[in-house]
Structure 1
Amino acid sequence: MRSAVPFEARLSGWVRPLLTSSIIYWIALLGLCAAYLQGGFNKATNFAGAIAEMNHFGLAPAAPLAAATIVLELGASALILSGFHRWLGALALAGFTLFATLLANRFWELSGPERFMTANAFFEHLGLIGGFLLVAWHDLRERLAEGVRR
């Protein structure tokens, strides 16, 4: 005899406790921040390379912008992972990612296979931006529901 409970309800009942745990939420946030943590640490440990990257993209003054990028990538990630002003860290990385994507992934100026690969990277970064906007949205809604205004 088949259960009267629909398959979707049984499946969500099984998955919900796992996916709504706080550790899974933190792991998801860590995944969103992984590229920025890696980038920030790499730039911090190879500052000459970070300056070269700024020069490659025509950004000046290169050294202060490289330092600001390190602080932004690591600082905003720390806000997100700690939960302290998570929404602010998420919006900072969303804005940074939009700027960097428009600067580095200008697929509309390319042709051939390079255009295809760069377009993929461009739209993947839009997905990251969407993820950060969802984090900010969720955090602000949660704070509103709790009456927290920090």
Structure 2
Amino acid sequence: MSDVERMVVVALRPWGTSAMVRWLGLLGLTAAYLQGGLVKASDFAGAVAEMTHFGLAPASLLAVLVIVLELGASVMILGGVGRWAGALALGFFTLAATFLANRYWEMSGVERFMSANAFYEHLGLVGAFLLVACQDISKKYRSINGENE
């Protein structure tokens, strides 16, 4: 590690080890799912219309399941109870929804450009959820084996 890198790491350590900063990062990661679940719950007809738009049936049941998944998994991640499971659930959901809603390879022009950007941004979210799950599983494994964190 270079001297400059060492100085930066030492300077940023309080932020990098702060539980509040980590929680704010998790809040940012789950923000779209909290917002999506709350909007779908408050406008259930719109949530059903969204399912129908994507050809999903039974639309009402799937809308309920998506609301429960988005809100429930977000709460698990933020609350730290089953964080790994919540992160994997939102990761798989995001991956499936991305292939359903952002099929940029079937588009052209500006629509293709915007959908391709959304597709790869969502893959980034999937990667972030995978990292959260791995970190939580690793932390639990160390705890089971009596290792220091």
Q: TM-score range by the shorter chain?
A: over 0.9
Aligned pairs (5 A) from 1:90-105 = 90-105=87-102
C-alpha distance in 2, partners of 1:49/1:84?
Answer: 31
Q: Deviations over 1:60-103 (max 9, x none)?
A: 11100000000000000010000001000000000000110000
Sequence identity, in percent?
Answer: 60
The residue aligned with 2:48 is 51
Q: CA deviation at 1:6?
A: 1.2
The residue aligned with 2:117 is 120
The residue aligned with 1:111 is 108
Q: CA deviation at 1:7?
A: 1.4
Q: CA deviation at 1:53?
A: 0.3
Q: CA deviation at 1:139?
A: 0.1
Q: CA deviation at 1:106?
A: 0.1
C-alpha distance in 2, partners of 1:18/1:112?
Answer: 43
The residue aligned with 1:42 is 39
Does 1:61 find its partner at 2:58?
A: yes
Which structure 2 segments of 5+ residues have no match?
none
The residue aligned with 1:141 is 138
**Which of the residues 8, 22, 25 maps onto 2:22?**
25
C-alpha distance in 1, partners of 2:40/2:108?
Answer: 30
Q: Which amino acid aligns with 1:31?
A: G
C-alpha distance in 2, partners of 1:18/1:138?
Answer: 18
Q: Which amino acid aligns with 1:52?
A: A
Q: CA deviation at 1:105?
A: 0.1
C-alpha distance in 2, partners of 1:6/1:19?
Answer: 19
After superposition, the CA RMSD in angstroms is 1.1
SS state of the match for residue 57, structure 2?
Answer: coil
Which structure 1 segments of 5+ residues have no match?
none
C-alpha distance in 2, partners of 1:20/1:116?
Answer: 38
TM, length-normalised to structure 1: 0.94
**Which of the residues 3, 6, 10 maps onto 2:3?**
6
TM, length-normalised to structure 2: 0.94
